[in-house]
C-alpha cells in the first residue's frame, strides 16, 4: 500500500485533532504542535482514542501534555543515574582486565574469549577509528609521548572512549571469572548483571533519542535476582522487569553502591508527587512502590 498522507501545516494539524474531539484552545494546541512533533505526541494520546480514532470525552491537550512532560523529566533523571553508574562500571572493567592482562591486553583476541573473531575484528576496527579521530587531549598527549612504541591506548584510557554499546561488547567478551568479579562488586550474579547492562543500554539509547517511556514495555527485560538469595527484591511485592519501574529500582539499587549519598531517589519521589494525577501504574509502579525494601534500603549488603 502506498503511503499517501499529505503534509499538513501546524494549524491544520490542530484543526484535525479538534475535529476528532480533542479538547483544546486552537492557538495553544498549535503552539504545542510547533514544539513537539504530531507523531511524537500521538504515542501519549493513543490510550485516549476510541475505535474510530475519535478522542474519548473530556480528553484535553493538557492531559496529554502532562504525560509528555512527565516522561521527559523522567528520562533526564534516568540519564543522570545511568551516567554515575556507567562511570563506575567502566572503572571496574578496566581495573580487573588490566590486573590480569596488562595495559594493552585487549589487543590480543585470546584475552577476550567470549566474542567470536568477526565481532572482535569489528570491535578493534571501530575502536581504532574512534581513537584516531578523537579530539580528547589525553589521546593526543599519549601518542605524542608514546606513539613511537604503541598504536593503541592502555585499557584504562581506551575504556573512556568506548560508547556504552562498545563497552557492553567488551564486557561480554571478557572471560567469565572477570565478569563474575565485576558482578560481585554490584552484589549480584554474572547472569543478572549482564542482563542489567543490556537493559541499561536499551534505556540509555531511548533516553538519548527522546523516545517514549510512558506506558511502554521494555524491549530487553532485565532479570530480577531470585527470592531465595535476594528476598529484598520480592518484599513487600515482587519487582518485575517488564516495565520502566523495574529499571527505576535497578538504578536505585546500583546507585546505593556507586553513590550511596545520592539524592536521586528523593528526586524521583518529587517527580511522582508533582504528577500525582497520572496513572504511573501503567509504567509498572504498584500503589505501594515506596515500601519496597530495595527503595527503602539505607545500604546494600554484598
Asked whether residue 32 is assigned to any structural domain, the reply reads no
End-to-end CA distance of the chain: 57
The residues with which 23 forms a beta bridge, in sequence order, are 60
pLDDT reading at 301 higher than 80: no
Asked whether residue 45 is assigned to any structural domain, the reply reads no
SS3 for 284-295, per residue?
A: CCCCCHHHCHHH
pTM of the model: 0.94
Give the model confidence (pLDDT) of 121-175 as tens digits: 999 999 999 999 999 999 999 999 999 999 999 999 999 999 999 999 999 999 9
CA distance 144 to 148: 8
Q: Which domain holds residue 79?
A: 73-296
pLDDT reading at 302 higher than 80: no
Name the residue with cell 520502566: 244
CA distance 292 to 232: 8
Give the model confidence (pLDDT) of 161-195 as tens digits: 999 999 999 999 999 999 999 999 999 999 999 99
Instruction: Tell me how many domains the chain contains.
Output: 1
Cα–Cα nearest to 225, from 190, 272, 178, 174: 190
Amino acid at each position: 500500500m502506498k503511503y499517501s498522507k499529505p503534509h499538513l501545516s501546524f494549524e491544520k494539524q490542530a484543526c484535525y485533532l479538534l475535529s476528532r474531539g480533542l479538547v483544546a484552545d486552537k492557538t495553544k494546541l498549535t503552539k504545542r504542535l510547533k514544539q513537539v512533533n504530531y507523531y511524537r505526541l500521538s504515542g501519549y494520546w493513543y490510550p485516549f482514542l476510541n475505535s474510530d480514532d475519535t478522542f474519548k470525552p473530556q480528553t484535553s491537550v493538557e492531559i496529554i501534555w502532562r504525560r509528555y512532560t512527565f516522561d521527559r523529566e523522567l528520562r533526564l533523571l534516568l540519564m543522570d543515574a545511568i551516567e554515575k553508574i556507567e562511570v563506575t562500571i567502566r572503572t571496574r572493567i578496566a581495573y580487573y582486565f588490566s590486573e590480569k592482562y596488562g595495559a594493552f591486553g585487549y589487543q590480543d583476541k585470546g584475552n577476550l574469549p567470549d566474542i567470536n573473531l568477526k565481532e572482535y575484528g569489528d570491535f578493534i576496527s571501530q575502536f581504532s577509528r574512534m581513537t584516531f579521530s578523537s579530539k580528547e587531549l589525553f589521546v593526543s598527549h599519549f601518542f605524542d609521548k608514546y606513539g613511537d612504541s604503541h598504536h593503541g591506548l592502555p585499557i584504562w584510557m581506551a575504556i573512556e572512549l568506548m560508547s556504552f554499546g562498545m563497552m557492553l561488547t567488551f564486557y561480554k567478551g571478557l572471560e567469565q571469572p572477570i565478569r563474575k568479579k565485576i558482578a560481585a562488586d554490584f552484589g549480584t550474579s554474572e547472569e543478572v548483571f549482564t542482563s542489567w547492562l543490556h537493559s541499561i543500554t536499551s534505556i540509555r539509547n531511548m533516553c538519548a533519542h527522546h523516545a517514549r517511556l510512558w506506558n511502554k514495555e521494555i524491549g530487553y527485560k532485565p532479570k530480577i535476582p531470585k527470592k531465595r538469595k535476594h528476598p529484598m527484591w520480592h518484599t513487600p511485592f515482587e519487582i518485575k522487569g517488564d516495565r520502566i519501574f523495574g529499571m527505576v529500582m535497578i538504578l536505585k539499587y546500583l546507585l546505593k553502591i556507586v553513590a550511596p549519598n545520592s539524592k536521586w531517589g528523593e528526586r524521583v519521589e518529587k517527580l511522582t508527587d508533582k504528577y500525582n494525577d497520572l496513572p504511573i501504574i501503567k509504567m509498572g509502579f504498584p500503589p505501594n512502590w515506596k515500601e519496597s525494601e530495595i527503595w527503602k534500603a539505607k545500604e546494600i549488603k554484598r
